[in-house]
Amino acid sequence: MVTKEITILLIVKVLNFKKMINKYYEKLYSKLSSDQKLFLEKGYIVKKVESLESLNFFRTKIEQQINIKLKKNKINLNNFHKIIKTKNLNLFRLDLIKKINSSNYKKLDSRQHYFRLATKGIEKIVGKEIAMQNEISLSIQLPKDNSSLLPLHSDTWSGNSPFEVVLWLPLVDCFSSKSMFILENKNLKKFEKIYKKNSKNNSDQLYNSLKKYVKFIDIKYGEYMIFNQNLPHGNIVNKTNETRWSLNCRFKGLFTPYVNKKLGEVFKPISLAPASILGINYNYPIK
Ligand SMILES: [Fe+2]
């Protein structure tokens, strides 16, 4: 009974908060920058990386690892499929992720490097007080490989907070099926209608019903994308003749709600305002 009352109280509080924020939405919306409006309307922004040094950091480290693991020098990442067998790909990829997130790389400021790629962009979308996922992830999509696909999904369906966004960094030019797709916000109603009709649809069926509405992101090496992971997105078999390489990591407002991925476990603070440091550490004087 008590639990039920607390739940009702929480729902009422959340609804009141939502009502209050939405009351100011129109006024606040007019003050947003064009990038911020674009992010709300389309669900993503693509911009030039803010630090070439940090971009080179990741590119060089990955090339070094390929050299160490596969004894291949001067590899063109686009042609990676020519030197690896599909059956060895996932192990190789997981090994590389382990390396990127190792304490050795963290000592080289790998997290800061990732944040520096798009600090201003993330601040525009997320705010100034930010939590960053502790681990950076890596995708490698070989041409014609159907073994490592991410079918249509929204990250919130598997326990991510709707307050998270993803910073996606291509290490090669990405386009059409070599890239990822997203259902833009304007088409979300179409998804909801299809989903409502038959919620037992699997991801492939959902994708087939929506494929004429999804947008494959055209993005070049040297650019980044921040996207709304609440919107349905994914990838399909890479039908091009080039391998896709991309890094990704999540960011969110430090003080926004967490779901399965908690602060201190999956997320760590990457920027904090002085007033918050004072507030967190404040103690009322004791008589
Ligand atoms: Fe996702």
Contact 178, 240 (CB under 8 A): yes
Q: 1: CA distance to ligand 1 center in Å?
A: 37
Q: Which residues contact 17 (CB under 8 A, 6 or more apart)?
A: none
State in Å: Cα 161 to ligand 1 middle. Answer: 12
pLDDT at 274: 96
pLDDT band at 81 (very low <50, low <70, confident <90, very high): very high
> How are the residues of the chain apportioned to helix, strand and coil, as percentages rounded to the nearest 5?
45, 20, 35
Tell me, in angstroms, the distance from the centre of ligand 1 to residue 15's CA: 27
CA of 150 to the centre of ligand 1 (A): 7
State pLDDT tens for residues 90-121.
Answer: 999 999 999 999 988 878 899 999 999 999 99
> What whole-number distance in Å separates Cα of residue 182 and Cα of residue 152?
9
pTM: 0.92
Look up tokens 């369906």; give the residue.
157
Å from CA of 12 to ligand 1 middle: 30
Residue 153 CA to ligand 1 center (angstroms) comes to: 6
How far apart, in whole angstroms, are the C-alpha atoms of residue 213 and residue 193? 13
CATH architecture of 33-256+265-271: Sandwich (2.60)
Tell how far the Cα of 228 is from the centroid of ligand 1, in angstroms.
Answer: 9
Distance (Å) from CA 70 to ligand 1 centroid: 29
pLDDT at 106: 79
- The answer to which of 125-129, 186-190, 199-203 has the lowest mean pLDDT is 199-203
Distance 80 CA to ligand 1 centre (A): 24
Q: Calculate how far, in angstroms, residue 160's C-alpha sits from the geometric centre of ligand 1.
A: 10
Instruction: State in Å: Cα 204 to ligand 1 middle.
Output: 15
55 Cα: distance to centroid of ligand 1 (angstroms): 22
In sequence order, what are the residues at sequence separation of 6 or more whose Cβ sits closer than 8 angstroms to the Cβ of residue 284? none
Residue with tokens 């790998």: 110
Residue 133 tokens read as 């996922």
Residue 200: per-residue pLDDT: 67
> Is 56 a residue whose pLDDT tops 80?
yes
Quickly state the pLDDT bin for 3 (edges 50, 70, 90).
low
Cα-to-centroid distance, 165 and ligand 1 (Å): 10
Count Cα neighbours of 59 within 13 Å in the Cβ-side half-sphere. Answer: 18
Q: Any idea where the domains of the chain sit in the sequence? A: 33-256+265-271
How many whole angstroms from 151 Cα to the centroid of ligand 1?
9
CA of 71 to the centre of ligand 1 (A): 32
- Separation of 251 CA from ligand 1 center, angstroms? 13
Neighbours of 90 (CB within 10 A): 12
**The tokens 């040297």 sit on which residue?**
222
What is the CA(157)–ligand 1 centre distance, in A?
A: 10
List, for residues 211-234, the tens digit of each pLDDT value.
999 999 999 999 999 999 999 999
